[in-house]
Amino acid sequence: KELIGEVEAFKASSKEEIEAFRIKYLGSKGLLKELFAEFKNVDAAMRKDFGQALNNLKNASENKVSALQQALDNSVEENAFYGDLTRPHEPIELGSRHPISIVKNQIIEVFNRIGFTVSEGPEIEDDWHNFTALNLPEYHPARDMQDTFFIEKNPDTLLRTHTSSVQVRYMENNKPPIRTISPGRVFRNEDISARAHCIFHQVEGLYIDTDVSFADLKQTLLYFTKEMFGKSKIRLRPSYFPFTEPSAEVDIYWGLETETDYRITKGTGWLEIMGCGMVDPNVLKNANIDPTKYSGYAFGMGIERIAMLLYQIPDIRMFYENDVRFLEQFKSVL
């Protein structure tokens, strides 16, 4: 019984100490072997107790050895894990930016360089900022051009159909000269296809100062396309927007080098990338800017379109599916 107490109190922290303990008690010439050999010399009356005590000692010794062994294994593992503070960390999987963000940042950067600041506004808009202030009074047929998602009627609350609404807000709160671009998400009730989606992103620009002309607009467009695409073969097609007069649509000549170029440009090599024009005097008046003193130009483009060209993405829906195999391909771009 004394021996059992000794066994239970035993402590060891190395492999060698544990092994010495095992040999001492359980080895082929160990204490237990010796004591079991004594068994036959024990009085018949005491055999039962003696035998039980021996078994207890044997069990206690075996348990001790395996417990010590287990503790030692655990601490070896722990040391391997925490021991070397200079070892490199488990690699952390890096994410990637979404192509829409990459292209948006590029556009912002190009316009920052010529003095445009970034302005933002709410995605849920009122009628005034999305339509009326932009020279689209109620019942104006041009409202149909923008298939609007209404949230409430009377007074109208809606998901903005373009970020021109941000520019109205900017004009209300700032005095010319104004040079701002408004990137953001916009919403239109359109059928979803390879070329169109009901949610997409725009960057719209506004420049107001004395003596701003259409030539300034065209020069800015040439600068932008050159910086953004490395080429600036563009054409301006006369168009109509209620908030600009005259208005134009800008096409870029992209060429037909790849299958995707062919699909995106419908086989023409040309792709419409934005709308633009000289800010209508009514829009300036609505924002309390004197149209006899100031003039300006405005433009608006879809970020998806531009990203599709740059990264050869044939279907706009790929931007919103969050397929990791698609997103991972932008890891190298920051």
Would you tell me which residues interact with ligand PHE (CB under 6 A)?
Answer: 162, 164, 204, 241, 244, 247, 275-277, 298-300
Edge-to-edge strands, sheet with 157-159:
124-126, 157-159, 150-152
Given the complex with ligand PHE, which of 148 and 265 has the nearer CB atom? 148
User: In 85-237, which ranges are continuous DSSP H helix?
Assistant: 99-112, 127-130, 164-173, 214-229
Amino acid at 120: E
State in angstroms the smallest separation of the CB of 248 from ligand PHE: 8
State in angstroms the smallest separation of the CB of 218 from ligand PHE: 14
Angle at 184 between CA 286 and CA 203, to 5 degrees: 75
Given the complex with ligand PHE, which of 99 and 277 has the nearer CB atom? 277
Q: Does 245 show up as a binding residue in the annotation?
A: yes
> For the chain, how are helix, strand and coil distributed in percent, rounded to 5?
45, 20, 35
State in angstroms the smallest separation of the CB of 321 from ligand PHE: 24
Q: What are phi and psi of 237, to 5 degrees?
A: -105, 130
State in angstroms the smallest separation of the CB of 213 from ligand PHE: 15
> E strands of 145-304, at which residues?
150-152, 157-159, 178-187, 199-209, 234-241, 244-253, 270-279, 295-302
State in angstroms the smallest separation of the CB of 233 from ligand PHE: 21
Tokens 């005034």, residue located: 128
Annotated binding site for Mg(2+): 245
Annotated binding site: 245
